[in-house]
């Protein structure tokens, strides 16, 4: 019956087509074709109304629905495959980016000066290859910022400049280390503890109103990624046990006495303060070393450090310098080259090593202080 319906349907459609076209050429053709088409259509309708016709119609609808379902499933599968391809492409791109970042981090850490190297050297390395490398003002400002807020045992990972918002405005400066950060902006400097919320992926680091963009500072993104790995590296031993207790310093003589305590802690166990007025520039002396102590607000200059070195060389002793105001960049560089240990102390009497010779002395003393008591006596019972 289905075949008959298809034939009748085709005949009816053809008859109507012939009838309508025939109207343009003949009056007889439509009178024959149109009734034939009508009869065919009525016959198809009657056949559809029979039980067999209804079953056939139901089968046709079911088959149509099945084919539609197949097409929808194919389309959905094709869309899933395209989406999976997009996700795979994104994953491959993310993997390549992560690998490139890891390589950049390794290159950065391998290329950095060793921990304890002069800060000027680390800053120069961080600025190399950037537009600020040939700007002595940026180098000098970064050195001042590092001397104020960056410990000598921290590794400087990046020096970045902020985005400026107006003509003639000087950019702020950011120094990022393995354990901290510092900012210098319009004559004011301060320590800054980076927070993950300050970092906008693909954009930069926001510090208050300051923006340090990745576009202007390409090494900044790498430095941020390197911080966790750099901080995980073995840290210097710095136990507080055994160190001299903090002591308020109000006079130069008190500063000299505090320096005596620290000289003894650093291994110069027979250190004593020289008499007042008869030191000839030397404030603390021992069999193996001597030290000068300055309680001044301004940084100690290179000639002063050179003078101490001359006395120490003549007496064949190690030279140490304790300064409240810190040191000028030439003084720090010269002292590092000639093995003079530089310490900067505060009014609580706590010194901080500011160059490699001082750092080595402090680390050795801290390691010695952290050894078990029986180790000091060779383990004898």
pLDDT tens series, the chain, 381 aa: 556 656 656 666 666 666 666 666 666 766 666 676 677 667 766 766 666 656 666 777 788 888 888 999 999 999 999 999 999 999 999 889 889 888 988 888 888 887 666 778 888 888 887 777 778 888 889 988 887 787 766 788 999 999 886 666 788 999 998 888 999 998 888 988 888 888 887 789 999 889 999 988 988 989 988 887 776 665 444 444 578 888 889 899 899 999 999 999 999 988 988 876 655 689 999 999 999 999 998 999 999 999 999 999 999 999 999 999 999 989 999 999 999 999 999 888 889 899 999 999 999 998 888 876 544 444 443
pLDDT the model gives residue 258: 92
Give yes or no for a contact between 33 and 19, defined as CB atoms under 8 angstroms apart. Answer: yes
What residues have CB less than 8 Å from 130, skipping those under 6 apart?
217, 218, 219
* DSSP E strands, 221-281: 272-273
pLDDT the model gives residue 322: 97
Give yes or no for a contact between 152 and 116, defined as CB atoms under 8 angstroms apart. Answer: yes
Helices (H), 50-173: 51-111, 119-127, 136-149
Tokens of 254: 């008190």
Q: CA 341, 344, 123 angle in degrees (round to 5)?
A: 80
A 10 A CB-CB count for 238 gives 13
DSSP state of 112: S
Pairing of strands 341-345, 318-323: parallel
pLDDT the model gives residue 213: 92
pLDDT the model gives residue 283: 92
pLDDT the model gives residue 128: 85
Cα(234)–Cα(241) distance, rounded to whole angstroms?
Answer: 20
What residues have CB less than 8 Å from 19, skipping those under 6 apart?
29, 30, 32, 33, 34, 37
Pairing of strands 284-285, 272-273: antiparallel
Q: Is 352 helix (H, G, I), strand (E, B) or coil?
A: strand
């Amino acid at each position: 019956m289905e075949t008959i319906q298809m034939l009748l349907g085709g005949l009816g459609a053809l008859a109507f087509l012939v009838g309508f076209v025939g109207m343009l050429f003949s009056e007889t053709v439509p009178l024959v074709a149109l009734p034939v088409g009508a009869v065919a259509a009525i016959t198809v309708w009657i056949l559809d109304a029979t039980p067999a016709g209804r079953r056939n119609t139901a089968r046709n609808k079911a088959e149509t629905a099945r084919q539609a379902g197949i097409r929808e499933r194919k389309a959905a599968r094709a869309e899933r495959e395209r989406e999976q391809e997009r996700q795979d492409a994104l994953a491959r791109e993310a993997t390549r980016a992560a690998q490139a970042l890891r390589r950049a981090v390794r290159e950065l850490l391998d290329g950095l000066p060793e921990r304890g190297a002069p800060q000027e050297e680390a800053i120069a390395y961080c600025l190399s290859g950037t537009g600020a490398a040939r700007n002595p003002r940026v180098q000098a400002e970064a050195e001042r910022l590092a001397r104020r807020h960056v410990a000598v045992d921290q590794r400087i990972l990046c020096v970045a400049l902020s985005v400026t918002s107006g003509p003639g405005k000087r950019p702020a400066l950011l120094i990022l280390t393995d354990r901290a950060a510092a900012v210098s902006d319009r004559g004011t400097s301060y320590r800054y503890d980076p927070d993950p919320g300050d970092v906008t992926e693909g954009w930069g680091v926001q510090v208050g109103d300051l923006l340090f963009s990745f576009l202007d500072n390409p090494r900044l993104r790498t430095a941020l990624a390197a911080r966790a790995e750099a901080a995980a590296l073995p840290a210097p031993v710095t136990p507080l046990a055994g160190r001299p207790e903090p002591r308020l310093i109000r006079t130069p003589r008190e500063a000299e006495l505090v320096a005596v305590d620290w000289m003894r802690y650093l291994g110069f166990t027979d250190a004593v303060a020289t008499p007042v007025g008869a030191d000839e520039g030397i404030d603390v002396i021992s069999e193996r070393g001597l030290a000068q102590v300055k309680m001044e607000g301004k940084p100690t200059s290179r000639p002063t450090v050179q003078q101490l070195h001359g006395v120490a060389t003549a007496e064949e002793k190690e030279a140490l310098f304790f300064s409240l105001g810190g040191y000028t960049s030439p003084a720090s560089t010269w002292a590092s080259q000639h093995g003079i240990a530089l310490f900067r102390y505060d009014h609580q009497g706590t010194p901080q090593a500011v160059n490699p010779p001082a750092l080595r002395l402090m680390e050795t003393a801290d390691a010695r202080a952290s050894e078990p008591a029986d180790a000091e006596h060779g383990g004898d019972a």
